[in-house]
């Protein structure tokens, strides 16, 4: 089983839609969780950290379920500019090992 798995995508949604991505991980020792976005041919950029209690940043909501070992990202009221690949990233207790998921591509259509 791969360390980090994500919805295969691509997701093609109309503007204004709500879309959710899931990510599952196999290492129960993982301590820190993040969502990054990566635009085509660009570097990944931190979108948001994911906290145990769940957290929200504008239209974006992240959830963590340690018992089931998955995290999710919900995007409300999708914009054209949300089109990108979304990467699920974990690190261990010591912050030394960052593991990246393969990413889920989102295309928001006019």
Partner 1 sequence: DGGITQSPKYLFRKEGQNVTLSCEQNLNHDAMYWYRQDPGQGLRLIYYSQIVNDFQKGDIAEGYSVSREKKESFPLTVTSAQKNPTAFYLCASSTDSVSAETQYFGPGTRLLVL
Does position 91 bind partner 1 by CB under 8 A?
yes
Interface with partner 1 (CB under 8 A), residue from 23, 73, 89, 108: 89
Strand partners of residue 4: 25
- E strand residue ranges, 29-103: 32-38, 44-50, 55-57, 60-65, 70-75, 84-91, 98-100
Give 5 or 17: the residue with its C-beta nearer to partner 1: 5
Does position 43 bind partner 1 by CB under 8 A?
yes
CA distance 33 to 26: 13
Residues in contact with partner 1 by the rule CB under 8 A: 4, 31-32, 34, 41-46, 49, 87, 89, 91, 93-96, 98, 100-103
């Amino acid at each position: 089983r791969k360390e980090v798995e994500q919805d295969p995508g691509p997701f093609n949604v109309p503007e204004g839609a709500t879309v959710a991505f899931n990510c599952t991980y196999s290492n129960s020792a993982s301590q820190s969780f993040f969502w990054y976005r990566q635009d085509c041919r660009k570097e990944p950029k931190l979108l948001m950290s994911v906290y145990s209690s769940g957290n929200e940043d504008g239209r974006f909501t992240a959830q963590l379920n340690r018992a089931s070992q998955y995290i999710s990202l919900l995007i409300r009221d999708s914009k054209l500019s949300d089109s990108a690949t979304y990467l699920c990233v974990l690190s261990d207790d010591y912050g030394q090992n960052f593991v990246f998921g393969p990413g889920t591509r989102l295309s928001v259509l006019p």
